[in-house]
Structure 1
Amino acid sequence: MTAGTYAVDPWPIGLPWRWWDEIGADEAAARGVFTPVHSVSGRPPGSVILAPGDIRALRFILERCNDGCCGMDNGDGPNLACAQCGQAAATRIDVCSYWQEVRLDPQAVRRVELDGPASTPTDWETVLTETRLLMPSADLTEWWSPESYVATGVAMAHLLAASGGAPLRFWPGPAADMFGSALDALLPPGPAPKTVALTGPGLRPFDAAPDISLVPRHPETGEPWQPPGARDLVPLAAELWLQLSSQGTWLRSPATGRLPAGVLRDDPLPQYSKRWLEVDRGACIHTLCRLPAVREPWLRAIYDRMTNWMFQPPPLG
C-alpha cells in the first residue's frame, strides 16, 4: 500500500480456516469462493488495509509475532492491539513473499465520519500523467514490478469470464501479445469470436466498439473508466493499462539537442525490463475461483485444467 491510501478487501482472510469438506459449497459461495479449495477463511470480509507506517496507537502482541519464516504473517491471528484497551485490532504482515500491510479487523474497528467536504478523486488526465512518470515499472532485478505481474493474472481471469466460452480476437498490439496465445490455448475454437481491444482516455476511439474493452481502473476509487457505447468491460490496474497502451513509445536513451516532448529526463534512466511481462498463473487461478461465472461448466473445465498443470504447463503469455 502507498502511504496515505487504504483499500477494503471484499474477501475474508485469516483464522479460523475451515476445510472445504467442512464448510460446504453453499457457505463457501456466501464467502465468495465458488470452486473447491484447500480451505476457506472463517473471518468476516471487509478488512481495511493500510500501509504499515500509517497506523497509530497500536502495539504488538508479542506472542503472535513469531509465526513467519522471516517475519510476521497472519498465521496466529491479529498481532496488533489497541495501546489503550488491549483489544486485538489488526494484523501486521511483514514476511517474505507477502505484501507488507496492516489489516484492520472489521470486528474490532469502525468507520468514523470526519467533518468537512469529501475529497474529490483525481481526474483521469492527472492520474495517467502521474502514473506515466513512474513508467516503465521494472525493479533492479530487471523484472516487472510485482503489482504489474499480479495484475496480469487478475485480468486474464476476467477475460476468461467475459468471453462466455467464445474465442477472443484481439486487435493488434501489446495486449494481443500478452494474452492472445494463452487464451487461444484455453478457449475452444469457434466461428464467432468476440473482439477485444484496449480502450481508455487518450486513445483514439474506434469506429465500432469492441465486444470487450480493456480499460484502466482508477487507482484511488477502484472504478473503471467508462467508454461510451461499451458492451463489456475488463478493468486493468492503471499501471498495467499504461504499460500496454504506451508500449514502445518511451525513448530509451537521452536525446541530443532540444528534448522532444515525452522524452525521459531522469538521470540515470529508469530500469527497463529485458523480459516481456508474463501472466501470473497463481493470481489468475485465485481470481477465477472467486468469480461466480466459474460455476459454468465450460469455465470450470478451464479452471480445472489450469490447476492441474503442474509440471509442464502451457505458457500464459
Structure 2
Amino acid sequence: MKRIGILTSGGDAPGMNAAIRAVVRKGIYHGLELYGIKYGYQGLMEGRIEKMEIGSVGDIIQRGGTMLYSARSDEFKTDAGQEKAIEQLKKFEIDGLVIIGGDGSFLGAEALTKKGFPCIGVPATIDNDIKGTDFTIGFDTALNTVIEAIDKIRDTATSHERTYIIEVMGRDAGDLALWAGLAGGAESILIPENREDFDSIVDRLKRGHQRGKRHSIILLAEGVGSAFDYGKRIEEATQLETRVTVLGYIQRGGSPTGADRVLASRLGARAMELLMNGKAGRMVGIENNQLVDYAIHDIFDKPSTVHEEMYTLSKELSI
C-alpha cells in the first residue's frame, strides 16, 4: 500500500482527532501517503479528499470533535452510492481506508471491503456500545462530563431538597448511565439492559426520605425512555418535588481525557498496522488493556452485555 485514506463518520466523539493524528503520523513514519476525507461517506462520494502532512495534524490531540468533520449519508447505504465512493478512491489512487466511528460507520466499511476495497474500523462513540472492545474512543471523556454534571446538580438538589432525574445519552446501551451513576453516587440507575421495577425505585426513595434523606439523584439512560415521563410518575408516586435535567449534546464535546487520547492513539496506530499487513474488513479494539481485532461482520453477532457486577454494586451502595 502507498496511499491510505481516513474519514470520521456518525456522531462525533472526543478523541477522534487523536486517532486521526495517530493514523496520519504512523503512516507517514512508514513512508505512506495519507489523505483526509471530509464529511464522512458523503464527502467520500463527492471527492472531498485532501493530502495530509505531518503538520496537518499538529496541535489537534487536545481538541474535541473531528477536524475532518462528519455527516450522515443515506445515499452511501445504496449500491450506487458505494460504487460512487469507490470511483473517488480509485481516482485518488487510495489503496486502503481507516474509518473512525460507530457501528453504522462499520457497516459502510464492511460494504466497501466486500466490494474489494480494504477498510479497517476504529471504534469511536461516547455510547460505548460497540461489541468487541471494552472501551470506545470518547466514552471516558463523556463519562467525566456526566460526573461533573452530577456533582453540580447534587449541590442544588441538596440546597432545595429535591429529587433530580438526569438523562444521559447511550442510545440502546446503558454504560454511560451505569458508570456515571456508580461514580456519582446515584440512588437509582435506569438502563435498558436491566430494567428495574418502578415500584422498587419508588420504595427506595421513600425509605431514604423516611430516614431523613432529603435529596436523591437518579440516572436514566435515554434508551429507557423519557426522563420527563419518569419524573412525573415519580413525583406522583412519592409526593417528592422532582426535577429533570437532560444533558444532551454537552456530553459529546470537550477536550478528550488522557485515557481517551491514549486509547485513540493506540487504536489508530494499530489500524494502520493491520492495513500495512494486508488485513481488511476488521475492527480494532481493546480488551483487558490488550489490543485486539475482529472481523467486522463478527462483532454484529456478538451478544450485548452489561457489567452485572457493577449494576449490582450500584444497588448495594445506594441503600
Q: Is the TM-score greater than 0.5? A: no
Higher relative contact order (CA 8 A, sep 6+): 2
TM-score by structure 1 length? 0.31
- Return the TM-score normalized by structure 2: 0.31
